[in-house]
C-alpha cells in the first residue's frame, strides 16, 4: 500500500464550487505539505504543517485553506474554485531533521476547474 495517498485522483468541477482534496499518510511523519504544479513551472508551495497545531502559508496560499485533522491527515480546500486553479496538486510528507529530509509525495490529484 502507498505510504502517502490522495483522494480524489482526478476531479472536474465548475467555477465557484467548493472542493476538498484529501491526503493521508502512514509514514508517521509530522511534516506535511501541499503543492501545485503547472506545466513548465516547478512545484509551488501552498501550505505546510509541522504538526497538528501548526499551519503555515506557502508561496501561493490565496484562494486555498487547509485543515490538519490528525498527524496523518492534511486536507486542502478551494473555497470557490476558479479556472486558474486548474493544476496538478501534490501532498508530501517529511520527517524533521538537520538539513531538510527527503519529501515523500502522494500520487497527485489532477484538478480541472471549468
Partner 1 sequence: RKEVEQDPGPFNVPEGATVAFNCTYSNSASQSFFWYRQDCRKEPKLLMSVYSSGNEDGRFTAQLNRASQYISLLIRDSKLSDSATYLCVVNIGRNFNKFYFGSGTKLNVKP
Which residues contribute to the site for partner 1 (CB under 8 A)? Answer: 31, 33, 35, 40-45, 48, 50, 56, 58, 88, 90, 96-103, 105-108, 110
Count CB neighbours of 100 within 10 A: 9
Residue closer to partner 1, measured from CB, 45 or 72: 45
Residue closer to partner 1, measured from CB, 17 or 57: 57
Joined together, the cell numbers standing for residue 113 give 476547474
Residue closer to partner 1, measured from CB, 20 or 88: 88
Count CB neighbours of 9 within 10 A: 11
Dist. CA 112–CA 86, nearest whole Å:
5
What's the min distance (Å) between Cβ of 40 and partner 1? Answer: 6
Amino acid at each position: 500500500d502507498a505510504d502517502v495517498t490522495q483522494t480524489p485522483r482526478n476531479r472536474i468541477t465548475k467555477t465557484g464550487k467548493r472542493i476538498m482534496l484529501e491526503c493521508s499518510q502512514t509514514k508517521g511523519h509530522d511534516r506535511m505539505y501541499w503543492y501545485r504544479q503547472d506545466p513548465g513551472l516547478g512545484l509551488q508551495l501552498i501550505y505546510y504543517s509541522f504538526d497538528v497545531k501548526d499551519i503555515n502559508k506557502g508561496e501561493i496560499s490565496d484562494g486555498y485553506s487547509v485543515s490538519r485533522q490528525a498527524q496523518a491527515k492534511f486536507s486542502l480546500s478551494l473555497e470557490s474554485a476558479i479556472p486558474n486553479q486548474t493544476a496538478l496538486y501534490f501532498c508530501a510528507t517529511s520527517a524533521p531533521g538537520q538539513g531538510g529530509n527527503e519529501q515523500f509525495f502522494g500520487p497527485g490529484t489532477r484538478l480541472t476547474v471549468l
